[in-house]
Amino acid sequence: MIQTVGYAASSSSSDLLPFAFERNAAGPFEVEIAVTHCGVCHSDIHQARNEWYNTLYPCVPGHEIVGRVTRTGSQVSRHAVGDTVGVGCMIESCGHCQPCTHGEQNYCSGPNSWLATYNGPVIPAVKARDRQNTYGRENTFGGYSSTLVVHEAFVLKIPAALAPELAAPILCAGVTTYAPLKHWGVKAGDQVGIVGFGGLGDMAAKIARAMGAEVTLFTSTPEKLRAAARMEAHAVLESDRATMQSLAGRFDFMLSTIPQAHDVNPFIDLLKRDATLVVVGALDRLPPVNNQALAFGRKSVAGSMIGNLAETQEVLDFCAKHAIGPQIEIIPMQQINEAFAKVVLGDVRFRFVIDMKSLAEPEPGR
């Protein structure tokens, strides 16, 4: 057993506090990782606060994890002690179902779905709400912790050109935006709209730009307009009706990263004929969609779930090749509760990343 320290929420309304637990030592195909950095995704907040109705407590969030390999199981061939590696949102899938055999582990249709890095097998929010969280299942503890033990297939290689603190958010925010941009075939010259300029929006805009698209960011926060200009993107205030109307029919592809249920109809109007709006942010029921607006332009509204393992490695390599990465603010573990509050208020540019060295520091007042 490995003695591990982390930060956990013990209920939907409690702060995250220090939490000691044990992890199993690495099995033959597993890798032991000393976590050095972990990004703070808005999903961590949804999960810690039971906003998806399926949280198991204690809840140790964190799925944008970078660290160093400290031990490898006897059969491990992909990673070696000392390597800088990453772990994203998944740590296992069934390996036998149709999606898994096609390399789409993130859509595993095995009996337990894919195994999330925290909170155990994935149960969609809508299903969980209907079943009132009556699942009895095993928990998993994420990257807000000193150590992680993961099957080598679910461990990614961090390219040397990426600083570990910048690589961390790519493991969720990066792949969650890269995968739909790639799947829907975004290419040079396309007009791409990104809705919500937070952790995912920042990565989406940079990746789409690197694919050669012209990017427009839709934001509710006037102070973010200048940040968009710095990354060579246009920016539009969602409340600016005249500009919204002037953009009708402009976009080849749009991606919404707004974390709550929201009205997507104003964005459907901005799509070209045959274009798609992918909603990754609101993992919940959306207000009704005007099907007439869809039908008259053969448009689509779609969803997308993180990305598969190959796409996760691809986006890391893509970011290294194009020298892009998230804009981050580094925090010690002890500031996680303030950081959660700031993310909810939109007061972060654009991703907090925890420096795990801080875990070894004494708690204030202890």
Rounded CA gap, 244 and 238, in Å?
A: 7
Rounded CA gap, 91 and 156, in Å?
A: 11
Site mask for ligand NDP (CB under 6 A), range 269-308, x = bound: -----------xx-x--------------------xxx--
- Comparing CB distances to ligand NDP, the nearer of 26 and 306 is 306
Taking each helix axis as running N to C, give the angle between helix 309-322 and helix 199-210, from 0 to 180 degrees, rounded to the nearest 10. Answer: 70
**Interaction between residue 258 and ligand NDP (CB under 6 A):** yes
Among 145, 219, 308, 312, binds ligand NDP (CB under 6 A): 219
Kindly indicate which of the ranges 97-105, 191-199, 242-250, 268-276 contains the residues binding ligand NDP, using the contact rule CB under 6 A: 191-199
Residues 170-199 within binding reach of Zn ion (CB under 5 A): 172
Helix (H) or strand (E) holding 338, with range, is helix 336-345
CA angle 227, 188, 299 (to 5 degrees): 90
* Residue 139 vs residues 147, 172, 350: alpha-carbon distances, Å: 16, 20, 29
Among 4, 36, 43, 119, binds ligand NDP (CB under 6 A): 43
What does the DSSP 8-state code read for residue 358?
G
**Interaction between residue 41 and ligand NDP (CB under 6 A):** yes
Residues 318-347 within binding reach of ligand NDP (CB under 6 A): 343, 346
Among 172, 315, 320, 354, binds ligand NDP (CB under 6 A): 172
Helix (H) or strand (E) holding 127, with range, is helix 125-131
- Three-state SS at 167: helix
Q: Which residues of 284-320 are buried (b: 16+ CB within 10 A; e: fewer)?
A: bebeeeeeebbeebebebeebbbbbbebbbbbbbbbb
Residues 4-63 within binding reach of Zn ion (CB under 5 A): 41, 43
259 binds, among Zn ion, ligand NDP, none (CB under 5 to 8 A by kind): ligand NDP
- Applying CB under 6 A, the residues found at the interface with ligand NDP are 41-43, 46, 172-173, 176, 196-201, 219-221, 224, 257-260, 280-281, 283, 304-306, 343, 346
List residues near Zn ion by CB under 5 A: 41, 43, 172
